[in-house]
Amino acid sequence: MNWTDERVEKLKKLWSEGLSASQIAAQLGGVSRNAVIGKVHRLCLPGRAKAGGSTAATTRAKRPATSAPRAPNYASRMTTRTVTRTAGATVMKEEVEIDVIEDQETAPVGNVVVPMSRRLVLTELTDRTCKWPIGDPMKDEFHFCGNDSPDTSPYCTFHAKLAYQPSGERRRAR
């Protein structure tokens, strides 16, 4: 594959957004993550602050410290929270309805993890990434959750809960 201007631009954009080399490689297509890293060096783009695994892609996923602390004894109850994330220049807000089924005892403070999408595209899903779709498949911003899923489960722990709601009806989540 050739490094056309378009591809280089896309590389720069995605790299500056903090995506990992392998993610960028998947989105560009036809190149390995090594190729991406090599290109990044050749372009003299700023490397990642910390070397090694942690990666901006993972670290970047900070959730807004919602003022809503964990309610101590609301046994099984629906909570709604709004998450805000930034994707490039676009700020997206999502309202997520969460059915808290977890045992309250293990829910001290801020224990409910808000699902933070890694905005993966189809080609970068692996055996252990959450395949929960987000957005309109017809539209461009369509992506998948992409967070780690236990074993080879198709979904992360959060979306597995949404997927497996025992008695058919009752919750609607978007």
Rounded distance, CA 27 to CA 12, Å? 13
| Residue with token string 């700023």 | 46
State which residue, 19 or 114, has the beta carbon closest to DNA.
19
CB of 33 to DNA, least distance (A): 6
Rounded distance, CA 136 to CA 50, Å? 35
CB of 110 to DNA, least distance (A): 21
Residue 120 structure tokens? 């993966």
CB of 131 to DNA, least distance (A): 14
Task: Classify the C-alpha dihedral 134-137-141-145 as positive or negative.
Answer: positive
> What DSSP character marks residue 166?
S
Which residues 90-149 are close enough to bind DNA by CB under 7 A? 126, 128
Which residues 15-54 are close enough to bind DNA by CB under 7 A? 19-23, 31-35, 37-42, 47-48, 51-54
- Can you give the binding site for DNA, defined by CB under 7 A? 1, 3, 19-23, 31-35, 37-42, 47-48, 51-55, 57, 126, 128
